[in-house]
Amino acid sequence: MDEVSRLIVVVLFEGVDLLDVTGPPEVFSLVQRESRDLTGYRVRLAAATMEPVTTAAGVRVLPDTTFAEAVAGPIDTLLVPGAVVVDEERRVHPVADPAVVDWVRRLAGRSRRVASVCVGAHLLAAAGLLDGKRATTHWSTAQRLAADFPAVEVDADPIFIRSGEVWTGAGISACLDLALALVAEDFGETMALRVARQLVMYLKRPGGQSQFSVPLEPVSTTRRIEELRLHIQRNLDQPLTVPELAAQAHVGERQLTRIFKQELGLTPSAYVESARVERARQQLESTDATLERIAGSCGFGTTDTLVRAFRRVLDSTPTEYRQRFRL
Domain limit, last residue, from 198, 226, 257: 198
266 vs 276: CA distance, rounded Å: 14
Give kind and range of the element (H or E) at residue 44: strand 42-47
Statement to judge: residues 21 and 94 lie in one domain = yes
Shared-domain flag, residues 171 and 262: no
Report yes or no: 76 and 5 within 8 Å, Cβ to Cβ.
yes
* pLDDT at residue 211 in the model: 53
Burial letters for 256-282: b for 16+ Cβ neighbours within 10 Å, e otherwise? Answer: bbebbeebbebebeebbbbbbbbbbbe
Helix %, strand %, coil % of the chain (to 5): 50, 15, 35
CA 238 to chain centre: 32
Alpha helices in 188-327 (DSSP H): 189-198, 223-234, 242-249, 253-264, 268-286, 291-297, 303-314, 318-325
Element of type H or E holding 161? strand 160-163
* pLDDT value at residue 209: 54
Q: What is the mean pLDDT of residues 120-138?
A: 96
Q: What is the mean pLDDT of residues 37-58?
A: 92
Q: List pLDDT tens digits, range 19-29.
A: 999 999 999 99
- Range of lowest pLDDT (57-71, 118-132, 309-323): 309-323
| Residue 302 binned pLDDT confidence (cut-offs 50, 70, 90) | very high
Beta bridge mates, 84: 94
Is the pLDDT at 111 greater than 50? The verdict is yes
Residue 109 to residue 11: CA distance in whole angstroms? 14
Q: Decide which of 171, 198, 225 is a domain's last residue.
A: 198
- Confidence bin at 236 (pLDDT 50/70/90): very high
Strand partners, 210: 158
Examine the domain organization and report whether 193 and 255 are in the same domain.
no
Torsion angle of C-alpha atoms 240, 243, 246, 250, degrees rounded to 10: -120
- Are the C-beta atoms of residues 2 and 186 closer than 8 Å to each other? no
pLDDT at 46 over 80: yes
What is the reported pLDDT for 202? 47
Pairing of strands 75-80, 111-116: parallel
Q: What is the pLDDT of residue 204?
A: 47
Round to whole Å and give the CA distance between 201 and 186: 20
Q: What pLDDT does 222 receive?
A: 63
Question: What pLDDT score was predicted for residue 112?
Answer: 96
How high is the pLDDT of residue 138? 92
Taking phi over 0 as left and psi of -120 to 50 as alpha, with beta for the rest, 309 belongs to: alpha
Give the Cα separation of 260 and 271 in Å (integer): 8
192 and 252 part of one domain: no
Q: Tell me how many domains the chain contains.
A: 2
pLDDT of residue 221: 47
What are the catalytic residues? 118
More confident residue, 323 or 214: 323
Could you please report the per-residue DSSP string of 3-17?
GGG-EEEEE--TT--
**Rounded Cα gap, residues 235 and 18, in angstroms:** 44
Is 264's pLDDT higher than 50?
Answer: yes
Residue-level pLDDT at 157: 80
Do 119 and 166 sit in the same domain of this protein? yes
Residue 244 has pLDDT above 80, yes or no: yes
Q: Are residues 191 and 89 in the same domain?
A: yes
Q: What's the pLDDT at 19?
A: 94
- Residues 170-211 have pLDDT tens digits of 877 788 989 999 998 999 888 888 888 888 764 445 555 555
Q: Evaluate whether residue 292 is within a structural domain.
A: yes
Residue-level pLDDT at 107: 98
Mean pLDDT estimate for the chain = 88
Q: What's the pTM value of the predicted model, to 2 decimals?
A: 0.67
Residues 49 and 150 in one domain: yes
pLDDT above 70 for 319: yes
Query: Which structural domain range is residue 230 located in?
Result: 214-325
pLDDT of residue 3: 47
Q: In 3D, which of 188, 180, 179 has the Cα closest to residue 38?
A: 188
- State whether 236 and 142 are in the same domain: no
